[in-house]
Every structure is written in C-alpha cells, then in structure tokens.
C-alpha cells in the first residue's frame, strides 16, 4: 500500500522535486541550528549595534558606534573580523 502511494507521489517530476526540496530545506535548518551563535545584532533608537564572538580566539568584539542599517553594521563587523584574522578557518 505504501509503495503504491510513493509511486503515485513520485510519478510527477514537479511534485517529486518539491518533496526533495522540502526535505533538504529542513536538513539545512537542522545543520544551522547546531552551529554556535557567532553574533548578535539589535536596533536601539534608530541605530543598529552588535557584537561578534569568535570561539577559536575566545574573543568578543563589540560595535557600539551604531549604524543606520543592519547591512552597514554587518559589513563593518565582518571586515573587522577579517582584518584582525578572527574569521573561522
């Protein structure tokens, strides 16, 4: 009975592709949830602040200047991490 249902579901290419895409989507989410948290970002008074934490060097780097957009903040944090050699290897 189950084999018949599987055959019917997988007969259509688009449905089969959608099912596999859904499965891989949840695999990706599960893998991401197992990764350590490496940054925190928050908005306060119209400006974005944040910090990064590098487990390899056991270092917190805070950015308390404040940026108008989250993208500007992240660009600064990642650029600083690369310049200081704190990116994961």
39-44: strand order across its sheet: 39-44, 47-54, 59-67
Note the pLDDT of residue 37.
58
Neighbours of 74 (CB within 10 A): 17
- How high is the pLDDT of residue 61? 76
Q: Treating both helix axes as pointing N-terminal to C-terminal, what angle do 13-34 and 2-11 enclose, rounded to 10 degrees?
A: 100
Question: How many Cα atoms occupy the beta-carbon half-sphere of 81 within 13 Å?
Answer: 25
For the chain (89 residues), the mean pLDDT of every run of 10, in chain order, is 82 85 84 66 88 74 84 83 63
> Would you kindly state where each structural domain of the chain is located, as residue ranges?
2-34, 39-83
* pTM as predicted: 0.46
């Amino acid at each position: 009975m189950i084999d018949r249902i599987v055959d019917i579901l997988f007969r259509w290419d688009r449905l089969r592709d959608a099912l596999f895409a859904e499965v891989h989507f949840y695999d990706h989410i599960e893998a991401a949830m197992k990764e350590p948290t490496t940054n925190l970002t928050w908005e306060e008074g119209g400006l974005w602040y944040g910090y990064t934490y590098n487990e390899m060097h056991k270092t917190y780097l805070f950015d308390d200047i404040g940026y108008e957009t989250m993208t500007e903040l992240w660009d600064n944090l990642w650029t600083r991490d690369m310049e200081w050699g704190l990116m994961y290897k």
